Structure 1
């Protein structure tokens, strides 16, 4: 993720949720995932360590790290 402009990537996304533990963005413009080069559905930024995620559906995940925060790119199956 070192070669990705994370601020520019996030600027292209739609904020869905923010709380003390995480920020969640929806990818409404088909930005590609920096890990796998396929468009992703959502981006989750974990603001606390540890952070618990409640996922109710089956997803493929790509994971990275930005400014000591874990970022998760979700891909619906």
Structure 2
């Protein structure tokens, strides 16, 4: 993934952090580095493997940087 993840996350609003994940909300309509469309949330997986409990239908874009998965969610 050719994106400065530190710069990206500094533009987002932190939401949740635990041992497995850290999530951010995109409150300023930052474009997804994969598809170019604004995304709703970014989930950074801190553990391998990580299980996500997603209760709604979402379109996902995924990237990997420095061994961590970056999941960009889009309302489906």
TM score, norm. by length of structure 1: 0.96
The separation in 2 between residues aligned to 1:57 and 1:20, in whole angstroms, is 23
Q: CA deviation at 1:6?
A: 1.1
- Stretches of structure 2 that go unaligned for 5 or more consecutive residues are none
Q: How big is the alpha-carbon RMSD for the aligned residues of Structure 1 and Structure 2?
A: 0.6
Where structure 1 has 5 or more consecutive residues not aligned to the other structure, the ranges are none
- Could you say what secondary structure the match of 2:8 adopts? helix
The reply on whether 1:10 has 2:9 as its aligned counterpart is yes
The answer on 1:46 being equivalent to 2:45 is yes
Aligned to 2:18: 19
User: How many angstroms apart in 1 are the aligned matches of 2:12 and 2:65?
Assistant: 16
* Residue 67 of structure 1: how far off its partner (Å): 1.0
Q: Secondary structure at the match of 1:51?
A: coil
Matched residue SS, 2:36: coil
Count of aligned pairs between the two proteins: 76
How far apart, CA to CA, are the structure 1 residues paired with 2:10 and 2:34? 18
